[in-house]
Amino acid sequence: MNKATVLGIFCSLLAFGNSHAADIEAGKETAAVCIGCHGVDGHAMNPEWPNLAGQNIKYIENQLRSFQQGTRKNDLMTPMAQSLNAEGVANVAAYFNSLK
């Protein structure tokens, strides 16, 4: 294979690699437990907790995975994140991203 073919295959994988689109409605249901800290509309009432409304999807996914893997620690967030599978992480991130 030449470089152009390899590059074409790589780009195709990037474009179509995620065959499962995140489900915002499912994310809304899952995120119901997040409301207590992060607010009904993704705007936290307590300045100690981050606002998640409109936050970048990849940022939210990375933070949740960090809690799951133990590279980021928080007594409240670690168990919340660990209860999510990959689909749940994607859905919650898409939901909060959809809020303005």
Q: Which pLDDT tens digit goes with each residue over 24-66?
A: 999 999 999 999 999 999 999 999 999 999 999 999 999 999 9
Q: Is 91 exposed, middle or buried (0-12, 13-18, 19+ CB in 10 A)?
A: buried
Query: What's at 13, amino acid-wise?
Result: L
What does the alpha-carbon distance between residue 21 and residue 68 come to, in Å, rounded to a whole number? 21
pLDDT at 2: 60
pTM over 0.85: no
CATH number at residue 66: 1.10.760.10
In sequence order, what are the residues at sequence separation of 6 or more whose Cβ sits closer than 8 angstroms to the Cβ of residue 35? none
Number of domain units in the chain? 1
In a domain, 6, yes or no: no
Domain hosting residue 24, numbered range: 19-98
In sequence order, what are the residues at sequence separation of 6 or more whose Cβ sits closer than 8 angstroms to the Cβ of residue 77? 67
Buried-exposed string 54-89: b where 16+ CB fall within 10 A, e elsewhere? ebebeebbebbebbbeeeeeeeebbebbeebeeebb
